[in-house]
Amino acid sequence: MSEDSKQPIRQVNIDDDQNAMADFVTEFNTYEAFLDSQISEIDQYYLQDTDIAREFVELGYRGVGQGISRKDFQERKHRAEVILYSRRQGPIAILSDTLTVINPFAKELAVREEANRTTRLLTIIFIRDRNHLGQEISAYVDYAHRLKSEDFTLIFLGKNKLVPLTTDLSFYNWHTHVCVSNNTQNFHLVSDVNGVQFRCEHDRKMIYVDPELKHYGDGTARIVVDTDEYLQVILYVRF
């Protein structure tokens, strides 16, 4: 379909596959506040210690309602907040649906656009390329984050390149040795003796980007993109 087609851009809601009611965890600012809501007056009377009472609730030994772990609470709260934010912002436009996408890398981006915009799937893009000075640069890019801040129309059409930026998850200039790292709403960078890793803030699981490991994390796939436009492109897809 040509980019000048009259067909309107398809729009989706982030909660198309969610229940209309917001998750009950949104009623609480912190996990501790949730635990406090589960402590009965009798438990408080006999235990006489809020921290111990919270621990009993967390372990499932006490509680007046639904039990939930700290990890599940954080994941559900984050997901519910994303859904509520989307409702306030309105439907999300899917740009690539109305464009003629030919470039191999652009196709990989296009097929994952909707899933990344709605955060049902997340993608870290590793790009190695040269800047306008001929210097080799590289970056790990949070695709969902960049979709929010950048118009990808010309990238989908193959007229512009996806350029590594110092605002990405990790940026490195191999000539000047400038190194910059940032966290996003979706990923936090974690550096240790094993090199660079990323923690997905939706499920707290790690993504390992060292190709020598041969394991990239639970629910993560590594996809090498065959392209002549860049020195190297690799996708780390978090399902």
Query: What pLDDT sits at residue 19?
Result: 43
Give the rounded percent of residues in the chain with a pLDDT score beyond 70: 78
pLDDT band at 3 (very low <50, low <70, confident <90, very high): very low
- Sequence ranges of the domains in the chain: 14-88, 96-238
Tokens, residue 65: 């309602």
- Tokens 């090498």 map to which residue? 224
pLDDT band at 42 (very low <50, low <70, confident <90, very high): confident
Query: What pLDDT sits at residue 13?
Result: 58
Query: What pLDDT sits at residue 107?
Result: 97
Query: What pLDDT sits at residue 169?
Result: 97
State phi, psi for 161 to the nearest 5 degrees: -100, 155
Query: What pLDDT sits at residue 85?
Result: 67
Q: How many CA atoms lie within 13 A of 97 on its CB side?
A: 12
Tokens, residue 126: 């590793």
Query: What pLDDT sits at residue 4?
Result: 47
Mean of the pLDDT values across residues 103-128? 95
Mean of the pLDDT values across residues 191-216? 87
pLDDT at 101 exceeding the cut of 90: yes
pLDDT band at 203 (very low <50, low <70, confident <90, very high): confident
pLDDT band at 214 (very low <50, low <70, confident <90, very high): confident
Tokens, residue 217: 């994390």
pLDDT at 232 exceeding the cut of 90: yes
pLDDT tens figures, 129-181? 999 999 999 999 999 999 999 999 999 999 999 999 999 999 999 999 999 99
Tokens, residue 192: 């240790």
Mean of the pLDDT values across residues 23-45? 75
Q: What is the pTM of this model?
A: 0.70
DSSP codes of every residue in the chain: --TT--SPPEEE-TTTTS-SSPPGGGG-SSHHHHHHHH--HHHHHHH--HHHHHHHHHHTSS-SS----HHHHHHHHHHHHHHHHHHHH-PEEEGGGGS---SHHHHHHHHTHHHHHTTSSEEEEEEEEE-TTS-EEEEEEEHHHHHHHS--HHHHTTSS-----TTSSEEEETTT--EEE---SSEEEEEETTEEEEEETTT--EEE--GGGS---TTEEEEE---SSSSEEEEEEE-
Query: What pLDDT sits at residue 208?
Result: 94
